Amino acid sequence: MKKEMLYEGKAKKVFATEDPNLCIVDYKDDATAFNGLKKGSIVGKGVVNNRLTNHFMRLLDKEGIPTHFVEELSERETLVKRVTIIPLEVIVRNIAAGSLAKRLGLEEGHVMSRPVIEYCYKDDSLGDPMVNDYHILAMNIATAEELNTISGYSLKINEYLRDYLLKHGIVLVDFKLEFGKLPDGTIVLADEISPDTCRFWDSESNEKLDKDRFRRDLGGVEEAYQEVYRRILGEGN
């Protein structure tokens, strides 16, 4: 089914298929941080991220969020709709952490009084700089209507996942989304939703259960990914 490789990113490979409208995503265990400056591997990450992403995409589809998900093919491979990625990282934050805490002098853990959306322009050579609505419209990255759809979906995804994860003992601190466009212009959720792209804290202890363990050399990285997997996809769930 897999044909030529179309793209290799830091955490995934994307392959063409016989159907020009579909491609296959293959999740790797490779991990990077700080725009590729820090490199490593998180054993089993590809499986966790593939299966968790697909689980979240199925749930979100039912909630009325269109996604690129088609079918899980194996523990690391998924068939998805081929999209043109909109070059934006859409970050939603409920609790101050990471770059927001640093930039605004907020203590990590400070609860924001409402969700915050930030956009970064996806360009590795520039280090994914933050942009606002005006930049996005003036650079024709998205139209006003598309941006409205993207922000609306992002807030809805936040509300749904925040409640869902809390039921599994996980606080959704913040996360990053990417959207793509189908040939007919429909905007769909693409990329992944995983401990690589979200901050997940244990709801009792605030222990970090995500890639910050790798970024910050906290140890227990594999264990954290497995713990999120167990809480969400383990037996009895």
User: Where does this chain bind ligand TMP (CB under 6 A)?
Assistant: 91, 97-100, 174-176, 197-199
Which of these, 17, 118, 110, 120, lies nearest to 70 by C-alpha position?
Answer: 17
Closest separation between CB of residue 210 and ligand TMP, Å?
7
For residue 152, count other CB atoms closer than 10 A to its CB.
12
Q: Which two tokens stand for residue 150?
A: 């993207």
Comparison of 147 and 198: residue with beta carbon closer to ligand TMP: 198
Closest separation between CB of residue 42 and ligand TMP, Å?
14
Closest separation between CB of residue 114 and ligand TMP, Å?
17
Residues 6+ apart with CB under 8 A from 155: 92, 115, 117
CA dihedral 208, 213, 217, 220 (to 10 degrees): 90
Closest separation between CB of residue 166 and ligand TMP, Å?
16
Comparison of 98 and 115: residue with beta carbon closer to ligand TMP: 98
- H or E stretch at 33: strand 30-33
Comparison of 2 and 110: residue with beta carbon closer to ligand TMP: 110
Comparison of 66 and 98: residue with beta carbon closer to ligand TMP: 98
Closest separation between CB of residue 21 and ligand TMP, Å?
26
Closest separation between CB of residue 175 and ligand TMP, Å?
5
Closest separation between CB of residue 211 and ligand TMP, Å?
7
Contact 55, 233 (CB under 8 A): yes
Comparison of 82 and 176: residue with beta carbon closer to ligand TMP: 176
Comparison of 111 and 144: residue with beta carbon closer to ligand TMP: 111
Q: Which two tokens stand for residue 71?
A: 């079918």
- Which residue of this chain has its Cβ atom nearest to ligand TMP in the complex? 98
Residues 141 and 146: their CA atoms lie apart, in Å, by: 10
Comparison of 34 and 134: residue with beta carbon closer to ligand TMP: 34
Contact 199, 210 (CB under 8 A): yes
Tallying the residues shown for the chain, one arrives at 237
Buried residues in 164-194 as b, exposed as e (16+ CB within 10 A): bbeeebbbbbbbbbbbbbeeeeebbbbbbbb
